[in-house]
């Protein structure tokens, strides 16, 4: 008759933390496994059952059960290994940090850990530890939006945000822009589709079948997309699109939000606009095209259609773009919702 093993009782906090560890997709697998061992133990599962379900040896199960009894969840962490701890002289540490925060020279833009190690005369693993402790990441770059130089920045922002939040009666707010140089790329070998254990795979070699530009308008308050493909992004094509929008919505005053591209301010365009009583153009401040909501939709388009796409011809790319837009309007079109709930940002 098998001897009954010692039981373990978990607190609510311990159980919640162990469950989170066991389901984590980012935690190293050894910690996930240890959490599962303890959870099965708390469910009164035998060593044999745990061994079979987790494919782990009995000595391993016994080790982590014992460690948990002694130190609870802290006991599931790796114990400090014996031996003299590695020490790095303060001046070496300071040198690594100083170099990592400086320009590397010799044509390089950023420091790599390997070049830092060679420059200072220590191992790459030591450089890695120094940078980690100092929270320095020379391999990463973050972008931030600098302050616009437009003297009318505040006035233009208030104007456009006002249209988003409280449009005039009997008016339609349209956010308009172009996505240019969309490449119809084909691959030299067939695509290997996604399946269990394998991501979708494409050859790194490709064929070009030309480029397409897309000019689009987002109806801000219902989410509808009006778009057409064009071969060239010029003032003639933009004016033709503007005219089509004007005809599409008779009886509505159109407020069209645009960035400062020269095509949008072409003399021929401005002369035509001046003669239209139902049309007002609103230009975003300099370096602030992010204020134009169509940019959000272009990002959605890129993720849904363009990233990793394969097209055997320019015609196929155009057909897919128009098919996507048609289905987007039928199934997904809705206004973008404001989500910022903090304090107003200062200008």
166-191 pLDDT, tens digit per residue, is 999 999 999 999 999 999 988 888 88
Give the confidence band of 2 by pLDDT, cuts at 50, 70, 90: very low
> Residues 73-102: pLDDT tens digits?
888 887 766 666 667 888 999 999 999 999
* 4, pLDDT greater than 60: no
Give the confidence band of 1 by pLDDT, cuts at 50, 70, 90: very low
What is the number of domains present in the chain?
3
Q: Confirm whether 347 is domain-assigned.
A: no
Q: Give the model's pLDDT for residue 80.
A: 67
My answer on whether 236 and 315 are in the same domain is yes
CA distance 325 to 338: 23
* 3, pLDDT greater than 70: no
- Range(s) of the domain holding residue 45: 12-76
- Average pLDDT estimate for 317-338: 94
Q: Give the model's pLDDT for residue 340.
A: 73
My answer on whether 98 and 60 are in the same domain is no
> Rounded to an integer, what is the distance from CA 103 to the centroid of its chain?
28
My answer on whether 213 and 311 are in the same domain is yes
* 67, pLDDT greater than 50: yes
Q: Which of 328, 256, 265 is nearest to 297 (CA)?
A: 328
Q: What is the pTM of this model?
A: 0.65
Q: Confirm whether 32 is domain-assigned.
A: yes
My answer on whether 127 and 163 are in the same domain is no
Q: Confirm whether 41 is domain-assigned.
A: yes
Question: Looking at the DSSP assignment, which residues form a beta bridge with residue 187?
Answer: 206
Q: Confirm whether 147 is domain-assigned.
A: no
Q: Confirm whether 107 is domain-assigned.
A: yes
The dihedral formed by the CA atoms of 108, 110, 112 and 116, expressed in degrees to the nearest 10: 80
Q: Give the model's pLDDT for residue 347.
A: 47
CB atoms within 10 A of CB 141: 8
The widest CA-to-CA distance across the chain, in whole angstroms, is: 97
My answer on whether 71 and 98 are in the same domain is no
Tokens in use for 292?
């134009």
* 220, pLDDT greater than 70: yes
My answer on whether 224 and 125 are in the same domain is no
> Residues 272-322: pLDDT tens digits?
999 999 999 999 999 899 999 999 999 999 999 998 888 999 999 999 999
Residue with tokens 């407020």: 255
**CATH number of domain containing 208:** 3.30.420.10
Q: Confirm whether 85 is domain-assigned.
A: no
Q: Identify which has the larger pLDDT, 9 or 261.
A: 261
CB atoms within 10 A of CB 238: 21
My answer on whether 215 and 246 are in the same domain is yes
My answer on whether 172 and 296 are in the same domain is yes
Provide, rounded to the nearest whole percent, the portion of the chain with pLDDT above 70: 95
CA distance 101 to 204: 35
My answer on whether 128 and 161 are in the same domain is no
Q: Confirm whether 148 is domain-assigned.
A: no
My answer on whether 171 and 317 are in the same domain is yes
Given 76, 100, 116, the domain boundary residue is 76
My answer on whether 177 and 218 are in the same domain is yes
Q: Confirm whether 278 is domain-assigned.
A: yes
Q: Give the model's pLDDT for residue 72.
A: 87
My answer on whether 319 and 171 are in the same domain is yes
- Contacts of residue 308, Cβ cutoff 8 Å, sequence gap at least 6: 200, 202
Helix (H, G, I), strand (E, B) or coil at 108: strand
CB atoms within 10 A of CB 160: 23
Lowest mean pLDDT among 115-119, 144-148, 161-165, 302-306: 144-148
């Amino acid at each position: 008759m098998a001897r009954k093993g010692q039981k373990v009782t978990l607190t609510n906090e311990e159980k919640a933390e162990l469950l989170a560890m066991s389901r984590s997709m980012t935690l190293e697998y050894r910690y996930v496994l240890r959490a599962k061992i303890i959870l099965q133990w708390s469910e009164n599962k035998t060593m044999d059952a745990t061994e079979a379900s987790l494919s782990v040896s009995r000595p391993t199960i016994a080790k982590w059960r014992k460690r948990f009894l002694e130190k609870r969840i802290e006991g599931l962490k790796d114990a400090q290994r014996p031996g003299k701890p590695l020490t790095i002289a303060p001046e070496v540490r300071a040198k690594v940090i100083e170099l990592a925060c400086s320009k590397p020279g010799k044509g390089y833009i950023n420091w790599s850990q390997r070049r830092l190690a060679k420059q200072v005369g220590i191992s790459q693993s030591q450089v890695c530890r120094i940078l980690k402790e100092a929270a320095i990441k020379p391999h990463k770059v973050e972008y931030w939006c600098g302050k616009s130089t437009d003297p009318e920045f505040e006035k233009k922002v208030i104007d456009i945000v006002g249209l988003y939040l409280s449009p005039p009666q009997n008016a339609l707010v349209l956010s308009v822009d172009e996505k240019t140089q969309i490449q119809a790329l084909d691959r030299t070998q067939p695509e290997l589709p996604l399946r269990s254990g394998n991501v979708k795979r494409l050859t790194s070699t490709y064929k070009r079948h030309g480029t397409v530009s897309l000019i689009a308008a987002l109806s801000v308050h219902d989410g509808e997309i009006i778009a057409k493909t064009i071969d060239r992004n010029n003032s003639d094509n933009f004016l033709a699109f503007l005219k089509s929008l004007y005809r599409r919505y008779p009886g509505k005053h159109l407020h069209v939000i645009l960035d400062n591209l020269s095509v949008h301010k072409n003399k021929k365009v401005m002369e035509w606009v001046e003669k239209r009583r139902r049309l007002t153009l609103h230009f975003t401040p300099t370096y602030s095209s992010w204020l134009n909501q169509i940019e959000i939709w272009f990002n959605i388009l890129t993720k849904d259609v363009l990233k990793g796409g394969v097209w055997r011809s320019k015609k196929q790319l155009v057909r897919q773009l128009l098919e996507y837009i048609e289905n987007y309007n039928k199934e997904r079109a809705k206004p973008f919702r404001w989500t910022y709930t903090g304090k107003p940002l200062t200008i």
